[in-house]
Amino acid sequence: GAVVSQHPSRVICKSGTSVKIECRSLDFQATTMFWYRQFPKQSLMLMATSNEGSKATYEQGVEKDKFLINHASLTLSTLTVTSAHPEDSSFYICSARQTDPLSSYEQYFGPGTRLTVT
């Protein structure tokens, strides 16, 4: 149980276009999902916290107009990178937290999406 999927796993896009990445909790409901960014050989940096039915909370330094987050249901959050540029190329990882308090609010991580902007 507690599986999180991401789609696509890899995407290549041209500079100036937008890309949408989906994060789904497959077998549990998640009122909160998180989006992380990871550069090569570096750690995960939290970009934003996504709450179902409300606006996402962005970390300092993250452009909310560039990284659009939508959390329309208890099992799906999307990250859209708008007007992508080569410096947006990175590995994007989402995580989802169960709503059930008995689950100790543990986060489950998706497999990541490799974005390459040419």
The footprint of another protein (CB under 8 A) covers: 6, 31-32, 34, 41-46, 49, 91, 93, 95, 97, 99, 104-107, 109-112, 114
State in angstroms the smallest separation of the CB of 83 from another protein: 26
- Residue whose CB is less far from another protein, 89 or 107: 107
- Is the C-alpha dihedral spanning 3, 72, 89, 95 positive or negative? negative
- Residue whose CB is less far from another protein, 7 or 82: 7
φ and ψ at 19, to 5 degrees? -135, 135
State in angstroms the smallest separation of the CB of 99 from another protein: 8
**Distance between CA atoms of residues 8 and 107, nearest Å:** 21
